[in-house]
Amino acid sequence: MNKASRIFCPALITPKNAVVKQTEQLSRSQKLLTELGFVKSGSNGTYQIMPMAQRSVDKCIDLVQSNMQQAGGQKITLPILTPTGLWKKTGRLDGDISEFYMVRDRSGKQFLMSPTHEEAVTAMLATTSPISYRQLPLRLFQIGPKFRDELKTRFGLMRAKEFLMKDMYSFDVSEETAMETYTVVNAAYDRLFKQLEVPFVKVNAATGIMGGSVSHEYHYVSPVGEDNLLQCSSCGFAGNSEVVKAPASCPSCNSSDLKEVRGVEVAHTFLLGDKYSKPLGATFLNTSGKPQSLVMGCYGIGITRVIAAALEVLSSDHELRWPKLLAPYDVCLIGPKQGSKEQPEAEVIENELLLNVGEICGHQELLHDDRKELTIGKRLLEAKRLGHPLTIVVGAKSARLDSPKLEVHTSKGETYELDFSETLKLVAEHSQHKKSLKRGCFQSETDESKSRSVGHQL
């Protein structure tokens, strides 16, 4: 069990009637995460993750990792520093490199602080003892920091100079088997974003500097997004305007119900062919025992961006709302105020709840707001802003001799007065729903969780 009095949560305190001068445009998620003490701004474009936000990051990592392993992925760790010589071989240093961080060691050798690792992982396989076709497909992934010297950082974790990313690299014997891998990993991405229960769209995309023949992006639709998307309200089709050039009707259903929306890109998949394996000499031994270039794919998910963008979509201007699987805590329990007349009787119920709720949802998923010097109202207001899925209040109504009641608040804005067993049942239902999501069991489509996932080839 976690106690609120012991959690380091450096919230911003603005004096009453103070005028705050904004020096940059803030997104909803950035404003709330900063005000409530989830993140702190470091130097320009970097952010420090505080304990409660770190819990959400860790949960997102676990969820992504689980899905990658289900897709046949094996986890590795590559150095952040990549020799620039590898990027010269693939030609990626010939274009615009203004977003890359370059460093030199004491002997003058130059490195990139990797924004992505295609060259590094391909060079690793090129220097590995001969790979047999029997060892393929090979799907390697890592989760770690990436770096880009953004010209203009904004919206907090959604566009920062340092960010956390999952990147997977696949190696196959042919274009056909590479497409099979591409389909498997995309299915894992579809499953992941359905588990998060945030409406998303999957669109055809340009391959850009990454190269390759096929590419898809996953977006959360939001006004703060930097990509222009065309979306059909009739069939759910969506396309990136870089690929879909403003057609008069939907390419999928011919409907004229097309509208332009903004999207936050949270994941990207590419079928690369031999763009990296050929210049770097990464080969396998085919059935004839002869070396042949590996056929590659790469697949990225922005861990910290997924969290920030999901909050951007789900939250209100004043209260966070988390995807169920990413909420720092499942339940917040608020006990009676110190010195209140109901305190003795209410604390008996409070202690029983601490034990029973912890056993249902897991003691590490229970936050006990033990700051009893504060009023229940003040603690409840804070709990609502923090976005706990369930907040249980043990107050005056809980100490009544006849039909004592607990006040339960949900992050959807619902309030219930329940008895002890009904409260435990609600907690159990929430925990069961989370377990179902982790297993990949989804509810039938509703207005809240309906996700449109369309990947038409145009």
Compute the Cα dihedral for 50, 56, 57, 58 and give only its sign.
positive
Tell me the per-residue pLDDT of 203-240, one tens digit each, with 9 for 90 and over.
988 776 666 678 999 999 999 999 999 888 888 888 88
Quick check: 446 pLDDT over 70?
no
Do 165 and 302 touch, CB atoms closer than 8 A? Answer: yes
The residue with tokens 């396998």 is 284
At 399 the three-state DSSP class reads: helix
Q: What is the mean pLDDT of the chain?
A: 91
Q: What is the mean pLDDT of residues 282-304?
A: 97
Per-residue confidence band for 250, with pLDDT thresholds at 50, 70 and 90: confident
Per-residue confidence band for 247, with pLDDT thresholds at 50, 70 and 90: confident
Kindly report the number of other CB atoms within 10 A of residue 262's CB atom. 15
Do 125 and 74 touch, CB atoms closer than 8 A? Answer: no
**How do the residues of the chain divide into helix, strand and coil, expressed in percent and rounded to 5?**
35, 25, 40
Q: Highest mean pLDDT range out of 66-75, 254-263, 438-447? A: 66-75
What CATH class is the domain 331-439?
alpha beta
Quote the pLDDT of residue 155. Answer: 86
Quick check: 188 pLDDT over 60?
yes
At 105 the three-state DSSP class reads: coil
Quote the pLDDT of residue 450. Answer: 40
Residue type, 75: K
Strands (E), 25-92: 39-41, 47-49, 74-75, 81-83
Question: Whole-angstrom Cα distance, residue 79 to residue 92?
Answer: 19
Quick check: 244 pLDDT over 90?
no
Q: What is the mean pLDDT of residues 100-113?
A: 96
The alpha carbon of 285 is separated from its chain's Cα centroid by a whole number of angstroms, namely 38
Residue type, 285: L
Question: Whole-angstrom Cα distance, residue 32 to residue 24?
Answer: 15
C-alpha dihedral (223, 226, 231, 233), degrees to nearest 10: -10
Q: What is the mean pLDDT of residues 397-425?
A: 94
Region of residue 108 (left: phi > 0; alpha: psi -120 to 50; beta: else) = left
What residue segments make up the domains of the chain, in order of their start?
8-13+24-314, 331-439
Count how many Cα atoms sit within 13 Å of the Cα of residue 334 in the half-sphere of its side chain: 24
**One fold for 8-13+24-314 and 331-439:** no
Q: Which has more confidence, 455 or 401? A: 401
Would you identify the CATH topology of the domain 8-13+24-314? BirA Bifunctional Protein; domain 2 (3.30.930)
Q: Highest mean pLDDT range out of 128-132, 230-234, 295-299? A: 295-299
Quick check: 159 pLDDT over 70?
yes
